[in-house]
């Protein structure tokens, strides 16, 4: 095990050291064809998709330091900023937390945030790869839930679970990683196709923005309806008037009830059944059905996690 480069000491050097090996954050993507093609292109060209604009990623980075303070107090695992390599120098990882004693890794931690309940299964490849790099038999996964607001608000103390080592997953990842690195080593820029795919990172980013916006919209509607309800209670029974504040003008006024009209077809039929029957026949004869043009619908739903 070797400590390579600290992210805080140089972002460019840290990214370059990651590109030259295979890292834990690439473990999930390498298991899908589109993900593998994207990683291969990044290794060969040094170009990647900037996901820093994704709200969930920005929030996760912002909360990571605070959650790691909690982790160190609870489990004694300090935060980590270093990229490490394992027994195979090309197998690398930058865990969120790592406890090393006398040069030997003792325990590690991965921190995640989100609005859903914790689902360790979706992070299995990343966590198993990190255990492989450090030669550990289990790894701590810590999950902080938030309300999906802007910015999100944490919902209580983080959840946590120890994830056990799964050698079958590790063996699969090692084979995939070594094959990909070998292919990257013999490929040129002309050999790798641009990553413009239906399930590319850009599409994933835009779909994620839609889901983020839905959460914000739902939360905003909930807050608005709650405020309206409380405002109505506060003003109930008070005379029509205006209340002014630094940001709003509130007016309570009374409008007369509106009038509506409707035709009582049953009463008409009882009084003049022949007329109503003729009307219905005429209506049926002149009723047409129009078929609209087919439309292509785009549907975005949150992916179910195992």
pLDDT digits (tens, 9 = 90+) for 274-302: 888 888 888 888 888 888 778 777 777 76
DSSP H helices, the chain, are: 11-19, 33-45, 55-75, 124-134, 167-185, 201-235, 265-271, 273-285
Residue 19 clears pLDDT 80, i.e. is over it? yes
Contacts of 113 (CB under 8 A, 6+ apart): 56, 59, 60, 63, 67, 143, 144, 145, 146, 152
pLDDT digits (tens, 9 = 90+) for 193-223: 654 444 455 666 667 667 666 766 766 677 7
Calculate what percentage of the chain has a pLDDT beyond 70.
Answer: 80
Q: Which residue has the higher pLDDT, 292 or 67?
A: 67
| All domains of the chain in start order, with CATH | 2-194 (3.90.320.10)
- CA 225: distance to chain centroid? 26
Contacts of 18 (CB under 8 A, 6+ apart): 83, 92, 94
Bond prior to 151 in cis (omega within 30° of 0): yes
3-class SS of residue 275: helix
- Contact in structure between 216 and 149 (CB atoms under 8 Å): yes
Q: 0.95 exceeded by the pTM?
A: no
pLDDT digits (tens, 9 = 90+) for 79-98: 998 898 999 999 999 999 99
pLDDT digits (tens, 9 = 90+) for 101-143: 988 999 999 998 877 777 778 889 999 999 999 999 999 999 9
């Amino acid at each position: 095990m070797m400590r390579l480069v600290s992210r805080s000491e140089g972002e460019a050097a840290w990214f370059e050291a990651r590109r030259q090996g295979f890292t834990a954050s690439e473990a999930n993507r390498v298991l899908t064809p589109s993900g593998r093609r994207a990683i291969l292109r990044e290794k060969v060209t040094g170009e990647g998709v900037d996901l820093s604009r994704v709200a969930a990623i920005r929030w996760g980075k912002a909360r990571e330091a605070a959650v790691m303070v909690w982790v160190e107090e609870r489990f004694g695992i300090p935060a980590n900023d270093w990229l490490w390599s394992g027994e195979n120098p090309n197998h690398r990882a930058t865990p969120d937390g790592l406890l090393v004693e006398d040069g030997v890794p003792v325990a590690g931690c991965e921190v995640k945030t989100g609005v859903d309940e914790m689902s360790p299964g979706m992070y299995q490849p990343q966590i198993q790869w990190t255990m492989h790099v450090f030669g550990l038999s289990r790894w701590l996964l810590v999950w902080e839930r938030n309300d999906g607001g802007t910015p999100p608000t944490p919902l209580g103390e983080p959840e946590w679970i120890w994830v056990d080592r799964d050698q079958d997953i590790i063996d699969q990842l090692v084979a995939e990683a070594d094959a990909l690195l070998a292919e990257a080593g013999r490929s040129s820029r002309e050999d790798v196709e641009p990553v413009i795919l239906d399930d590319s990172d850009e599409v994933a980013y835009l779909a994620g923005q839609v889901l983020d916006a839905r959460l914000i919209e739902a939360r905003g509607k909930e807050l608005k309806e709650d405020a309206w309800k409380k405002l109505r209670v506060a003003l109930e029974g008070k005379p029509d008037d205006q209340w002014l504040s630094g940001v709003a003008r509130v007016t309570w006024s009374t409008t007369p009830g509106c009038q509506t009209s409707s035709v009582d077809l049953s009463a008409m039929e009882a009084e003049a059944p022949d007329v109503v029957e003729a009307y219905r026949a005429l209506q049926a004869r002149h009723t047409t059905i129009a078929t609209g043009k087919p439309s292509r619908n785009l549907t975005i739903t949150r992916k179910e996690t195992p």
